[in-house]
Amino acid sequence: FLISSFYVDLVEGALLIQGGKVVNHDQEFLADILVENGKIKEVGLNLKVPRDTVIIDASNKYVMPGGIDPHTHLDMPFMGQVACDDFTSGQSAALAGGTTMHVDFALPVDGDLMRGFQVWRDKAVGSVMDYAFHMAVTSWDAKVEADMEALASLGINSFKFFLAYKGALMVTDPQFLSALQKCKQIGALAQVHAENGDAVALGQELMVARGILGPEGHALSRPPILEGEATGRAIRLAAFVNTPLYVVHVMSKDALKEVQAARAQGLRVIGETVTSALTQDESKMWNPDFKTAAQFVMSPPIRSKEHQAPLRQALTSGDLALVATDHAVFNSTQKAVGRPPKGDFRILPNGVNGIEERMHMVWETLVHKGQMTRSRFVDATSTQAAKIFNIYPQKGLIAPGSDADIIIFDPAEIHTISASTHHSRMDTNIYEGLKVHGKVVVTISQGQVVWQNGILNVKPGAGRFIEMKPFGPIFEGIEKQDATFLSTPYGNVPVSRNGSDGNRDEL
């Protein structure tokens, strides 16, 4: 990937972004932005600036908060492989695409959450931009419960539970219920990968029995109905505990309907979709070229075209709050382990790219075509993540006091996505050849210009771990709801009966 071999602090003093149109999640307006010491100092017109201020001309361009990708897997060991993007290469790709922060998923080490957290902190030593962590929970015991509480004090405010990957990452319903109660107690947001793992395992057996071993078997073995079932089940269990739920990578209209129905009832359910679900379809997994077909294997699978329009509309309306990537990249040689006859789709590493392409593909698919406003674009790609994970207005906003994570977007520049020019270590790209109207031409991270004129200028180790505090806004008022749980129209409980303890009838 193209990174300069040296790092120059382009902005030792102040930086002024001049002449652009600022786009926040709630409004857009003409203004200049003064940046000092990694923070936005002033936003307005005719600003008084220090001598030797570096000026960037943003005339005829949009100036927006840097993107926040809430769902990535860098340097992740999975299915016998390790994702080929580490924190340096993956984050460099992100910066080139206008994303200035991401939240990666840390995995337990031999079931130990604290060890997993430390391993992921070590993986992130080479970070070039700000990052945070979710923590996956793949088993349940007293130590896991204690570790969750400890991690909440260390800046982890979300925990992910898999209802899929039977025999590996999957938790049972009783384990999930216990974990939901713990999340509620410590003010952490429960996240769920929603597929019915038992049914998926059966589907895999059925495909193999029929001799369907290629990437198409992956799609056929885990159809949308299984995503919908697990999404609905997770939502209902979270509602029973009365704790918020975040559904990661909503890929199908089946899962979307469950999220929409829950939100219509006033349940605290957040739906996240991903770029691949909005822009790709499952037909690619039927490509006769294995290398091409294998690129598109992820879980839940990319669905048929009929799912795209409802997902796009839901993201535009806010029924789906935000868009992520699930960036988990394995190059073609890594995915080749699943090539029949020696392998099959069950051991083909799941994952697609998107950390560099997300902002551009969402703009092209929705904003450029008139379906989404620019402010909603900012909301879906940045502000919602900041609010949900309790780091707003530090992130996700252009305003005095916010971090100077800023992008300058030129709507007139046209470019084509290609593996030959992207900055990931991935040797393929599922968005290969797609033309995009509009481009991130400048990325500013922590007040430093890290992407300009098609050149990255990053410093490994410059990235900061951003602590995400528990009990974010989504938890507000839950205790009041709990207080009404035992209020019934039939009187107080427990019911006083003839027994001496008020609970037991006399014989």
Render pLDDT for 30-75 as a digit per residue (tens, 0 to 9). 999 999 999 999 999 999 999 999 999 999 999 999 999 999 999 9
Q: What is the 3-state secondary structure (H, E, C) of 171-184?
A: CCHHHHHHHHHHHH
Confidence tier at 2 by pLDDT (50, 70, 90)? very low
Q: What is the C-alpha to C-alpha distance for residues 299 and 70, in angstroms, rounded to an integer?
A: 17
pLDDT the model gives residue 499: 67
pLDDT the model gives residue 248: 98
Which residues 6+ apart lie within 8 Å of 128 measured at CB? Answer: 87, 88, 91, 92, 95, 445, 450, 458, 459, 460, 461, 462, 463
Confidence tier at 503 by pLDDT (50, 70, 90)? low
Q: Which residue has the tokens 């005339």?
A: 59
pLDDT the model gives residue 487: 85
Q: What is the C-alpha to C-alpha distance for residues 372 and 377, in angstroms, rounded to an integer?
A: 7
pLDDT exceeds 50 at position 91:
yes
Q: In whole numbers, what is the pLDDT of the chain averaged over residues?
A: 95
Confidence tier at 9 by pLDDT (50, 70, 90)? very low
Tell me the pLDDT tens digit for each residue of 381-420: 999 999 999 999 999 999 999 999 999 999 999 999 999 9
pLDDT the model gives residue 401: 98
Strand 14-18, strand 21-23: pairing? unpaired
Candidate from 5-9, 199-203, 353-357 with smallest mean pLDDT: 5-9
| Residue 33 one-letter amino acid | I
pLDDT the model gives residue 5: 30
Question: Which letter does DSSP use for residue 495 in this model?
Answer: P
Which tokens in the block code for residue 336?
């080749």
pLDDT the model gives residue 47: 96
Q: What is the C-alpha to C-alpha distance for residues 52 and 145, in angstroms, rounded to an integer?
A: 54
Tell me the pLDDT tens digit for each residue of 444-484: 999 999 999 999 999 999 999 999 999 999 999 999 999 88
| Residue 75, Ramachandran bin (φ over 0: left; ψ between -120 and 50: alpha; else beta) | left
pLDDT the model gives residue 125: 98
Confidence tier at 507 by pLDDT (50, 70, 90)? very low
pLDDT exceeds 60 at position 3:
no
pLDDT the model gives residue 498: 84
pLDDT the model gives residue 13: 81
Residue 170: strand pairing partners: 162
pLDDT exceeds 70 at position 94:
yes
Rg (Cα) of the chain, in Å, rounded? 24
With pLDDT > 70 as the criterion, what percentage of the chain qualifies?
Answer: 96
**Averaged pLDDT for residues 1-8:** 33
pLDDT the model gives residue 6: 31
